Amino acid sequence: MISFDEANKIISAELNNLKTKTTESKLLESLNCILAEDIISDINLPPFNSSAMDGFAIKYSKEITKWEMIGEISAGNYKSFKLSNTNTVRIMTGGKLPDDCTAVIPVEDVIDNGSLIELKNSVLIKPGQNIRKLGEDLKQDQVAVQKNTLLSSKHISALATCGKNKVKVYDKLKIAVLVTGDELVDIDKIPTGDKIRGSNLYSLLALIKEMNMTPVNLGFVSDIKSEQERKIKTALESDINILLTTGGVSVGKFDYIPEIFKKLGVQIKFHKVNVKPGKPLIFGTFKNKDKVVFVFGLPGNPVSSFVDFILFVKAHIYKLFKIDEQNSIKADLSESIKKVDNKKHFMRGIYGYNSDSSKYFVEKLVSQSSGNMVGAGRANCLIVVDETTRSVAKGEEVECIMI
């Protein structure tokens, strides 16, 4: 059995060989995709000096408090005016400013007599006020959005402003899921006798969808070796990038997955990691013509497969695409934690923010059963407890991976 760190090193080194491809995507379709190019602005932003307020454009002079109105400029309707110290142009937000303008007085700060405006008592003008300077947000040819950004709605405006109706994004990885187990029935059935609903299929497909990757649903297969082998072979020879299986990776009599992987030519890189939950994980690679399929045999227990996906699949896909996701926080333990083994634990917990102490706190959930995904559904983090740590006292700080 290898350590968590060793497992990460191995997966990282292997996934580095994954040949990523890119596509031109229409702007809106790029939402939640990973940007594969730096987005450079082809213009200065803003492209001209403009007003940040509805008001009056003036050429600032310390003593002057009255100005004669000589015209108006609205957004998109520039007209040339020559400003002196004593005249002004009415300007609307976004309007291009006259060349000599050095300040904009907001409408609210003047008494407006139509042909003359006068500064209200006690209002002070600062030179440069309410002027958005050409290029102050970004200069032409500078980077607006960096390559490897996971695009969310907040980036779309910047891309649109830079004139990008198409952007280059990484192709979504195709990730297939096959779940094994004689005890499993699909979710539209009422399980009877010794059957249970096979929830892993949906849980993993959801995790893949959440990452905006392409899920491939390979469904259920019973614990018949030849059936499993047939389905896994077909999957490995298809155009997928990653194959996930669940169940059948432990030491039970009907746990065929490791044997099948080996038989089909999967190069096993490790089997079993010193973590809880998720220990029986098996990881390997399969050469399919000129391409490698990365294979994760996840445990059957629903919490184990969920946690393994977050730790070993999601984390490494993000690493491959250099996505810097801030997904962990430090929080103070509400109650002490004890463990009796030397595994690295990822305990389901609930963290929150304490505004009195300005710190995060975290509470371990009572049920840590790797079969209890209903309980895990109430958690919002995984509390990380290292291999050598046996207990963590109340009030001590722990790392929490947000889920």
Contact positions vs ligand AMP (CB under 6 A): 179, 181, 183-184, 196, 198-201, 246-250, 252, 299-302, 371
- Taking the CA of residue 47 as centre, how many other CA atoms within 13 Å lie in the half-sphere pointing to its CB? 9
Indicate which of ligand AMP, Mg ion, none lies near residue 260 (CB less than 5 to 8 Å, by partner kind): none
- CB atoms under 10 Å from CB of 17, counted, come to 11
* Pairing outcome for strands 55-58 and 22-26: unpaired
With residue 200 as reference, give the H or E element that holds it. helix 200-210
The minimum distance between CB 183 and Mg ion, in angstroms, equals: 7
Nearer to Mg ion, 181 or 278 (CB): 181
Indicate which of Mg ion, ligand AMP, none lies near residue 277 (CB less than 5 to 8 Å, by partner kind): none
Indicate which of ligand AMP, Mg ion, none lies near residue 278 (CB less than 5 to 8 Å, by partner kind): none
Beta strands in 128-186 (DSSP E): 131-132, 143-145, 166-170, 174-180, 184-185
Omega within 30 of 0 (cis) for the link into 191: no
The minimum distance between CB 177 and ligand AMP, in angstroms, equals: 10
Indicate which of Mg ion, ligand AMP, none lies near residue 301 (CB less than 5 to 8 Å, by partner kind): ligand AMP
The span from the CA of 101 to the CA of 82, in Å, is: 9
The minimum distance between CB 394 and Mg ion, in angstroms, equals: 38
Nearer to Mg ion, 103 or 178 (CB): 178
The minimum distance between CB 249 and Mg ion, in angstroms, equals: 9
Does 247 participate in binding Mg ion (rule CB under 5 A)? yes
Does 198 participate in binding Mg ion (rule CB under 5 A)? no
Q: Which stretch binds Mg ion (CB under 5 A): 57-65, 181-189, 267-275, 328-336?
A: 181-189
Chain centre to alpha carbon of residue 1: 31
Residue at 349: amino acid letter: G
* Pairing outcome for strands 242-246 and 174-180: parallel
The minimum distance between CB 196 and ligand AMP, in angstroms, equals: 6
Indicate which of Mg ion, ligand AMP, none lies near residue 349 (CB less than 5 to 8 Å, by partner kind): none
Please choose, from the candidates 365, 362, 258, 254, the residue with its C-alpha nearest in 3D space to the C-alpha of residue 303: 365
Q: For 211-320, where are the alpha helices, taking DSSP H only?
A: 225-236, 257-263, 302-308, 315-320
The minimum distance between CB 223 and Mg ion, in angstroms, equals: 6
Residues that bind Mg ion (CB under 5 A): 181, 247-248, 300
